Structure 1
Amino acid sequence: MPRRRQNLVSFGTALDQDETPKKTVWSLAEAKTLFLEDIRNLAMHTQRWHRENLNALEKVLEKQGIVVQDMRELTMPLLKNNFVFYMRDTMHLKTNTINGRVRTVRAVLHFAYEQGYVARDFGADVPLLRPERVIIQTFSEGQITNLLRQPDRHTFTGLRDYTMMLLLLETGIRLSECEGITLSDVHLQEGTILVHGKGSKDRTVPFQSKMKKVLQTYIEARGAAQTDRLFVTLERKTMSRRYIQELISQYGEAAQIRGVRVSPHTFRHTMAKFYVLAGGDIFSLQRILGHSSLETVRIYVEMFSHEVQHQHQKFSFVEHRFR
């Protein structure tokens, strides 16, 4: 597809690509305002993300006594040395944080080029850092089985805790999302839960028949309470996130699970792992987990690629049906 042409029109002589177009000066603050106005059609969380990244750019430069009067002063050496490498080497920020800010700067530089304010779009040349290798801990099938054996389902608290851990494993929801589920969010007939995610983003997460039976049994045992929250204490009150964390950790100790942190987030990673191994696609996994981009979901695929290869070896139609 042909690249979008430059917006600036020059009459008489062709504009030299190295010549700076003559327009009203944009300070960095003005460029930020114009850019944010231009992306008003994007989702609010995306706009907020770009705004935060541009605020961070100004603050990082100000830390070094650099004030940008004209955004054309954002040269490649300045962006590399006083922005990207400064955040890495002096501020010791995480790679994902730095790369997010770089992506916003790239978008602003491209916007300035489209508006004819700069003669060349060099945003793509601003370097991204090599992503850090992420180690994701997950439970094995044996550990999950042992963990779910721990709650005494003949008691209310045991049934509640079993239901909660099974729901974390079935849906991959976050601790905050689990804590926030209300009775009205659970739709047993449809097999879905309305989850209130990060950044005030709601999403519908499915669950299957076995989970439905367990939820139905728990809800009947739960009865009326002082709160509409799904999971409640013996006093029929809301359970705090810390209380849930401590409960799950205690069950991990009882199950004598070693080598992996027993936490709600490990259930989330485990759900994603087995979803990928079962052949689930990353696009539906992204929607279920509530990630705003595919980048985090791709990590699961990369992390478990050797296990996917093993699964393929076991179930390859060609391998086992053709001689």
Structure 2
Amino acid sequence: MNLEQYKVFLEKKGLADTTIKSYIYTIEVYTESNVITQKNLLEYKSYLIEHFKPQTVNLRINGLNRYLEYINRKDLCLKTIKIQQKSFLEDVISLADYLYLKNQLKNEGNKKWYFIVWYLGATGARVSELVKLKVEHVKIGYFDVYSKGGKTRRLFIPKRLRDETLNWTDDQQKDSGYLFLNKEGKTISSRGIALHLKYCAKKYGVDPKVVYPHSFRHLFAKNFLLYHNDIALLADLMGHDSIETTRIYLRKTSTEQQQIVDRIVTW
């Protein structure tokens, strides 16, 4: 089995780097103790269902199916499992906590993390996209993101954020290159951002459960619909293939649902 050739196959499919790593990991784990037969694949699927969350199960199944496609055994492909969609959003940072976290970072002069939080909350960027943001993108006000299947979505940078960022980069005498670097002066990693956000949450007394990169993307979507109720535009901004995916942001968080029930149910 040549995983390097398989990696090239996945790259030609236009898959994201994180997806490719996940798919290769899936095959490495599976082939450690299994050969590819229908019986073994079905048993492995049962094992996944018993031990992992539905999203992880489907990620592993998709990884296996891609490999089966690669070796011309699509007849063995597995069906993904149906995920019951919840009627509410969970663990989404509130606007108040987002603004508080942002202000605390600014007040302490921690400009890099102040801007990281602001960009996550004000652009709807995925963290894997944010780490590729450059000063050149800030200057023109947008960042064209190329996703799987050769699709392009434009990630817009709001004017106030753009102006403050350029003041910051001017102070640093930074005219080009990646916007966010680590302590070694290299491009910061997605994992590095996720871990430091948890640290900031604990430091400033915000629930760490709601402080993670994708939570800010949820915040962006919910607030966008609150101020501009155009779900088709939001779907484009978020890079969703279907408006059905975007409809989840019309829902309330479980905390918001509880507050509404507490307020109106007095009988």
- The answer as to whether partners of 2:89 and 2:248 remain within 8 angstroms in 1 is no
Match of residue 150 from structure 1: 104
1-structure distance, mates of 2:134, 2:219: 24
Match of 2:193 among 213, 234, 244: 244
Match of 1:136 among 77, 90, 98: 90
Give the greater-gyration-radius structure (CA). Answer: 1
Residue 63 of structure 1 deviates from its aligned partner by 2.1
Match of residue 265 from structure 2: none
- The answer as to whether partners of 2:124 and 2:217 remain within 8 angstroms in 1 is yes
TM-score (norm: length of structure 1): 0.52
2-structure distance, mates of 1:233, 1:262: 20
2-structure distance, mates of 1:305, 1:279: 22
The gaps in structure 2 that reach 5 residues or longer are: 1-12, 16-22, 24-35, 63-78, 261-267
1-structure distance, mates of 2:179, 2:240: 24
- The answer as to whether partners of 2:138 and 2:166 remain within 8 angstroms in 1 is no
**Aligned partner letter, 1:263:** Y
Cα distance per residue 1:124-145 (max 9 Å; x no partner) = xx9x846242643211222112
Residue 229 of structure 1 deviates from its aligned partner by 1.0
1-structure distance, mates of 2:173, 2:167: 11
Q: Structure 1 230/195 Cα, relative in aligned 2: closer, same or farther at 3 Å?
A: farther
Specify the SS of the correspondent of 1:137. coil
Identity across aligned pairs (percent)? 23
Q: Does 1:286 align with 2:235?
A: yes
Match of residue 169 from structure 1: 121
- The answer as to whether partners of 2:198 and 2:212 remain within 8 angstroms in 1 is yes
Describe how 1:93-132 pairs up with structure 2 within 5 A. 94=54, 97=58, 129=82, 131-132=84-85
Residue 202 of structure 1 deviates from its aligned partner by 3.7
Match of residue 164 from structure 2: 214
Identify which range, 298-307 or 135-144, moves more after superposition.
Answer: 298-307
Residue 94 of structure 1 deviates from its aligned partner by 2.6
Specify the SS of the correspondent of 1:220. helix
Residue 149 of structure 1 deviates from its aligned partner by 2.0
Match of residue 130 from structure 2: 178
Superposition CA RMSD, Å: 4.2
2-structure distance, mates of 1:195, 1:288: 11
Match of residue 226 from structure 2: 277
TM-score (norm: length of structure 2): 0.61
**Aligned partner letter, 2:229:** G
Match of 1:193 among 139, 143, 146: 143
Residue 181 of structure 1 deviates from its aligned partner by 1.3
The gaps in structure 1 that reach 5 residues or longer are: 1-43, 47-51, 53-60, 67-81, 102-125, 312-323
Residue 269 of structure 1 deviates from its aligned partner by 1.0
2-structure distance, mates of 1:87, 1:275: 42
Specify the SS of the correspondent of 2:97. helix
Residue 286 of structure 1 deviates from its aligned partner by 1.5
- The answer as to whether partners of 2:93 and 2:215 remain within 8 angstroms in 1 is yes
- Higher helix proportion: 2
Cα distance per residue 1:56-111 (max 9 Å; x no partner) = xxxxx942389xxxxxxxxxxxxxxx8xxx9986652737949x98xxxxxxxxxx
Match of 1:223 among 166, 173, 180: 173
Structure 1 segments (4+ residues) deviating >4 Å = 86-91, 152-155, 196-201, 303-308
